[in-house]
Amino acid sequence: MNIYIVIPAHNEEDFIGKTLQSIVEQTLLPKKLVVVNDNSSDNTQTIIEGYASKYPWITIVNIQSSDLHLPGSKIINAFNKGLDTLDDNYSIICKFDADLIFPNNYLEQITTHFNANEKLGMASGFCYIKKDSDWVLENLTNKDHIRGALKAYRKDCFNQIGKLKASMGWDTVDELLAKYHGWEILTDKSLHVKHLKPTGQSYNKASKHLQGEAMYKMRYGFWITLISALKLAYKKGSFRLFKDYMSGYFRAKSNTTEFLVSKAEGKFIRDLRWRGILNKFS
Protein backbone atom coordinates (compact mmCIF):
# COMPACT_ATOMS: atom_id res chain seq x y z
CA MET A 1 0.00 0.00 0.00
CA ASN A 2 1.24 3.48 -0.87
CA ILE A 3 1.32 5.78 2.15
CA TYR A 4 1.25 9.57 1.75
CA ILE A 5 1.68 11.86 4.76
CA VAL A 6 0.88 15.55 5.23
CA ILE A 7 2.23 17.38 8.29
CA PRO A 8 1.11 20.96 8.99
CA ALA A 9 3.75 22.86 11.00
CA HIS A 10 3.81 26.30 12.63
CA ASN A 11 6.83 27.28 14.75
CA GLU A 12 7.76 23.68 15.53
CA GLU A 13 11.57 23.98 15.62
CA ASP A 14 11.72 22.13 18.94
CA PHE A 15 9.81 19.13 17.63
CA ILE A 16 9.65 18.77 13.83
CA GLY A 17 13.13 17.27 13.55
CA LYS A 18 12.24 14.53 16.03
CA THR A 19 9.02 13.80 14.16
CA LEU A 20 10.72 13.55 10.79
CA GLN A 21 13.56 11.44 12.20
CA SER A 22 11.06 8.95 13.61
CA ILE A 23 9.43 8.72 10.17
CA VAL A 24 12.64 8.23 8.17
CA GLU A 25 13.48 5.38 10.59
CA GLN A 26 10.23 3.52 9.89
CA THR A 27 10.45 -0.15 8.89
CA LEU A 28 7.98 0.73 6.12
CA LEU A 29 8.62 4.13 4.58
CA PRO A 30 5.92 6.36 3.10
CA LYS A 31 6.00 7.01 -0.63
CA LYS A 32 5.57 10.74 -0.11
CA LEU A 33 5.64 13.15 2.81
CA VAL A 34 4.92 16.85 2.53
CA VAL A 35 5.44 19.25 5.42
CA VAL A 36 3.42 22.47 5.19
CA ASN A 37 5.38 25.25 6.86
CA ASP A 38 2.61 27.62 7.86
CA ASN A 39 3.98 31.10 8.54
CA SER A 40 6.74 29.96 10.92
CA SER A 41 9.04 32.64 12.32
CA ASP A 42 11.60 30.24 13.85
CA ASN A 43 13.90 27.60 12.31
CA THR A 44 11.10 25.22 11.28
CA GLN A 45 11.70 25.79 7.56
CA THR A 46 15.46 25.20 7.83
CA ILE A 47 14.97 21.91 9.67
CA ILE A 48 12.43 20.64 7.13
CA GLU A 49 14.65 21.64 4.22
CA GLY A 50 17.51 19.69 5.78
CA TYR A 51 15.42 16.51 5.70
CA ALA A 52 14.05 17.24 2.23
CA SER A 53 17.62 17.55 0.90
CA LYS A 54 18.45 14.04 2.20
CA TYR A 55 15.22 12.24 1.37
CA PRO A 56 13.67 12.81 -2.10
CA TRP A 57 10.25 11.64 -0.90
CA ILE A 58 10.07 14.54 1.59
CA THR A 59 8.97 17.95 0.29
CA ILE A 60 8.12 21.29 1.85
CA VAL A 61 5.35 23.76 1.06
CA ASN A 62 5.60 27.26 2.51
CA ILE A 63 2.37 29.17 3.10
CA GLN A 64 1.38 32.37 4.88
CA SER A 65 -1.65 32.44 7.16
CA SER A 66 -2.68 33.96 10.47
CA ASP A 67 -0.39 33.86 13.51
CA LEU A 68 -3.42 33.03 15.67
CA HIS A 69 -3.70 29.43 16.81
CA LEU A 70 -7.26 28.49 15.88
CA PRO A 71 -7.67 24.71 16.07
CA GLY A 72 -9.45 23.21 13.13
CA SER A 73 -9.49 25.80 10.40
CA LYS A 74 -5.81 26.76 10.45
CA ILE A 75 -4.42 23.25 10.61
CA ILE A 76 -6.81 21.76 8.06
CA ASN A 77 -6.32 24.65 5.63
CA ALA A 78 -2.59 23.93 5.87
CA PHE A 79 -3.22 20.20 5.43
CA ASN A 80 -5.28 20.90 2.30
CA LYS A 81 -2.47 23.02 0.84
CA GLY A 82 -0.17 20.06 1.23
CA LEU A 83 -2.74 17.62 -0.12
CA ASP A 84 -3.14 19.78 -3.24
CA THR A 85 0.54 19.17 -4.10
CA LEU A 86 0.13 15.38 -4.09
CA ASP A 87 -1.19 13.05 -6.76
CA ASP A 88 -3.90 10.52 -5.90
CA ASN A 89 -1.78 7.38 -6.23
CA TYR A 90 -2.02 6.62 -2.54
CA SER A 91 -3.75 3.83 -0.64
CA ILE A 92 -3.49 5.51 2.77
CA ILE A 93 -3.38 9.24 3.50
CA CYS A 94 -2.11 10.40 6.89
CA LYS A 95 -2.51 13.72 8.65
CA PHE A 96 0.14 13.88 11.37
CA ASP A 97 1.07 16.64 13.80
CA ALA A 98 4.60 18.06 13.86
CA ASP A 99 5.28 17.17 17.50
CA LEU A 100 5.15 13.36 17.52
CA ILE A 101 7.70 10.57 17.85
CA PHE A 102 6.49 7.35 16.23
CA PRO A 103 7.68 3.84 17.11
CA ASN A 104 9.65 2.52 14.15
CA ASN A 105 7.02 -0.10 13.24
CA TYR A 106 4.14 2.38 13.25
CA LEU A 107 3.44 2.63 9.50
CA GLU A 108 4.05 -1.08 8.94
CA GLN A 109 1.57 -2.02 11.66
CA ILE A 110 -1.06 0.45 10.44
CA THR A 111 -0.71 -0.95 6.92
CA THR A 112 -1.13 -4.50 8.28
CA HIS A 113 -4.44 -3.48 9.82
CA PHE A 114 -5.71 -1.96 6.56
CA ASN A 115 -4.65 -5.03 4.57
CA ALA A 116 -6.41 -7.34 7.02
CA ASN A 117 -9.80 -5.61 6.83
CA GLU A 118 -11.17 -4.06 3.65
CA LYS A 119 -13.88 -2.25 5.65
CA LEU A 120 -11.32 -0.51 7.86
CA GLY A 121 -11.55 3.18 7.02
CA MET A 122 -9.34 4.76 9.72
CA ALA A 123 -6.62 3.54 12.07
CA SER A 124 -4.10 4.85 14.62
CA GLY A 125 -2.09 4.22 17.74
CA PHE A 126 -2.30 6.18 20.99
CA CYS A 127 -0.71 9.44 22.12
CA TYR A 128 1.44 9.42 25.26
CA ILE A 129 2.69 12.52 27.08
CA LYS A 130 5.62 12.90 29.47
CA LYS A 131 4.71 13.18 33.12
CA ASP A 132 7.73 13.50 35.40
CA SER A 133 10.01 10.76 34.02
CA ASP A 134 7.26 8.52 32.62
CA TRP A 135 5.28 8.50 29.40
CA VAL A 136 1.56 8.18 30.20
CA LEU A 137 -1.56 7.91 28.05
CA GLU A 138 -2.92 11.32 27.06
CA ASN A 139 -6.38 10.39 28.23
CA LEU A 140 -8.66 13.08 26.80
CA THR A 141 -11.12 10.95 24.84
CA ASN A 142 -12.56 7.46 24.56
CA LYS A 143 -10.02 4.83 23.60
CA ASP A 144 -11.89 4.05 20.38
CA HIS A 145 -11.43 7.64 19.15
CA ILE A 146 -8.53 8.49 16.85
CA ARG A 147 -6.81 11.66 17.96
CA GLY A 148 -6.47 14.47 15.45
CA ALA A 149 -2.70 14.34 15.88
CA LEU A 150 -2.30 10.99 14.10
CA LYS A 151 -4.99 10.24 11.55
CA ALA A 152 -4.61 7.57 8.87
CA TYR A 153 -7.38 7.06 6.30
CA ARG A 154 -8.04 4.52 3.58
CA LYS A 155 -8.36 6.45 0.34
CA ASP A 156 -11.96 5.39 -0.39
CA CYS A 157 -13.08 6.34 3.13
CA PHE A 158 -11.24 9.68 2.95
CA ASN A 159 -13.02 10.57 -0.28
CA GLN A 160 -16.43 9.32 0.85
CA ILE A 161 -16.47 11.50 3.99
CA GLY A 162 -15.66 14.54 1.87
CA LYS A 163 -12.04 14.67 3.10
CA LEU A 164 -11.38 16.94 6.11
CA LYS A 165 -13.54 19.85 7.30
CA ALA A 166 -11.73 23.12 8.02
CA SER A 167 -13.44 23.55 11.38
CA MET A 168 -12.98 22.77 15.05
CA GLY A 169 -14.37 19.27 15.51
CA TRP A 170 -12.99 17.99 12.21
CA ASP A 171 -11.34 15.06 14.02
CA THR A 172 -14.67 13.93 15.44
CA VAL A 173 -16.93 14.52 12.46
CA ASP A 174 -14.59 12.51 10.21
CA GLU A 175 -15.11 9.40 12.36
CA LEU A 176 -18.85 9.96 12.65
CA LEU A 177 -19.18 10.30 8.88
CA ALA A 178 -16.99 7.24 8.34
CA LYS A 179 -19.36 5.22 10.53
CA TYR A 180 -22.34 6.74 8.70
CA HIS A 181 -20.91 5.32 5.46
CA GLY A 182 -20.28 1.90 7.00
CA TRP A 183 -16.54 2.11 7.63
CA GLU A 184 -14.83 0.66 10.68
CA ILE A 185 -12.32 2.47 12.92
CA LEU A 186 -9.42 0.87 14.76
CA THR A 187 -7.09 2.06 17.52
CA ASP A 188 -4.06 -0.13 18.24
CA LYS A 189 -3.10 0.04 21.92
CA SER A 190 0.30 -1.49 21.17
CA LEU A 191 1.39 1.57 19.18
CA HIS A 192 2.61 4.20 21.64
CA VAL A 193 3.28 7.57 20.02
CA LYS A 194 5.08 10.22 22.06
CA HIS A 195 3.19 13.52 21.95
CA LEU A 196 5.75 16.20 22.74
CA LYS A 197 3.37 19.15 23.08
CA PRO A 198 0.17 18.24 24.97
CA THR A 199 -3.14 19.04 23.28
CA GLY A 200 -4.54 22.48 23.98
CA GLN A 201 -1.29 23.91 25.33
CA SER A 202 -1.47 26.94 23.04
CA TYR A 203 -5.24 27.37 22.76
CA ASN A 204 -6.64 30.76 23.71
CA LYS A 205 -10.10 31.56 25.04
CA ALA A 206 -11.50 32.33 21.59
CA SER A 207 -10.46 28.90 20.36
CA LYS A 208 -12.01 27.20 23.39
CA HIS A 209 -15.40 28.58 22.39
CA LEU A 210 -14.96 26.80 19.08
CA GLN A 211 -15.39 23.41 20.77
CA GLY A 212 -18.98 24.25 21.65
CA GLU A 213 -19.53 25.71 18.21
CA ALA A 214 -18.34 22.43 16.71
CA MET A 215 -20.87 20.48 18.77
CA TYR A 216 -23.60 22.68 17.32
CA LYS A 217 -22.25 22.27 13.77
CA MET A 218 -22.28 18.48 14.18
CA ARG A 219 -26.00 18.71 15.09
CA TYR A 220 -25.50 17.24 18.57
CA GLY A 221 -28.44 19.15 20.00
CA PHE A 222 -28.56 20.64 23.51
CA TRP A 223 -28.51 17.53 25.71
CA ILE A 224 -25.69 15.70 23.95
CA THR A 225 -23.70 18.94 23.88
CA LEU A 226 -24.29 19.40 27.61
CA ILE A 227 -23.13 15.87 28.41
CA SER A 228 -20.15 16.05 26.04
CA ALA A 229 -19.08 19.45 27.39
CA LEU A 230 -19.25 18.23 30.99
CA LYS A 231 -17.23 15.13 30.16
CA LEU A 232 -14.54 17.01 28.24
CA ALA A 233 -14.22 19.74 30.86
CA TYR A 234 -13.94 17.12 33.59
CA LYS A 235 -11.17 15.29 31.73
CA LYS A 236 -9.29 18.56 31.32
CA GLY A 237 -9.89 19.47 34.96
CA SER A 238 -11.57 22.83 34.36
CA PHE A 239 -15.19 23.80 34.98
CA ARG A 240 -14.48 27.09 33.23
CA LEU A 241 -14.00 25.13 30.02
CA PHE A 242 -17.52 23.75 30.40
CA LYS A 243 -18.86 27.32 30.44
CA ASP A 244 -16.73 28.17 27.38
CA TYR A 245 -18.04 25.14 25.47
CA MET A 246 -21.68 25.90 26.24
CA SER A 247 -21.18 29.57 25.42
CA GLY A 248 -19.76 28.55 22.05
CA TYR A 249 -22.74 26.28 21.40
CA PHE A 250 -25.30 29.00 22.13
CA ARG A 251 -23.37 31.60 20.13
CA ALA A 252 -23.37 29.30 17.11
CA LYS A 253 -27.08 28.60 17.54
CA SER A 254 -28.00 32.27 17.84
CA ASN A 255 -25.89 33.11 14.79
CA THR A 256 -27.47 30.24 12.82
CA THR A 257 -23.98 28.95 12.03
CA GLU A 258 -23.76 26.60 9.07
CA PHE A 259 -23.79 22.88 9.90
CA LEU A 260 -20.96 20.50 8.98
CA VAL A 261 -23.33 17.58 8.32
CA SER A 262 -26.69 16.99 6.65
CA LYS A 263 -29.92 16.36 8.56
CA ALA A 264 -29.69 12.63 7.87
CA GLU A 265 -26.06 12.54 9.01
CA GLY A 266 -27.00 14.59 12.07
CA LYS A 267 -29.73 12.13 13.06
CA PHE A 268 -27.29 9.24 12.66
CA ILE A 269 -24.75 11.09 14.83
CA ARG A 270 -27.27 11.83 17.59
CA ASP A 271 -28.53 8.24 17.61
CA LEU A 272 -24.95 6.98 17.77
CA ARG A 273 -24.07 9.34 20.60
CA TRP A 274 -27.16 8.42 22.63
CA ARG A 275 -26.38 4.71 22.25
CA GLY A 276 -22.89 5.36 23.52
CA ILE A 277 -24.16 7.36 26.49
CA LEU A 278 -26.87 4.85 27.42
CA ASN A 279 -24.50 1.89 27.10
CA LYS A 280 -22.36 3.35 29.86
CA PHE A 281 -25.32 3.06 32.25
CA SER A 282 -26.52 -0.38 31.15
φ, ψ at 273 (rounded to 5°): -65, -45
CA pseudo-torsion sign 93, 87, 53, 60: negative
Residue 195: closest CA among 151, 138, 152: 138
Is the pTM higher than 0.95? no
State percent of the chain over pLDDT 70. Answer: 93
- pLDDT tens profile 48-65: 999 999 999 999 999 987
**Predicted pLDDT at 74:** 87
- pLDDT tens profile 86-96: 999 999 999 99
- pLDDT tens profile 214-266: 999 999 999 999 999 998 888 888 889 999 999 999 999 999 889 999 999 99
**What are the Cα distances from residue 262, in Å, to 78, 218, 220, 267?**
25, 9, 12, 9
128: helix, strand or coil: strand
95: helix, strand or coil: strand
H or E, element range at 214:
helix 205-217
**Predicted pLDDT at 140:** 67
CATH topology of domain 3-195: Spore Coat Polysaccharide Biosynthesis Protein SpsA; Chain A (3.90.550)
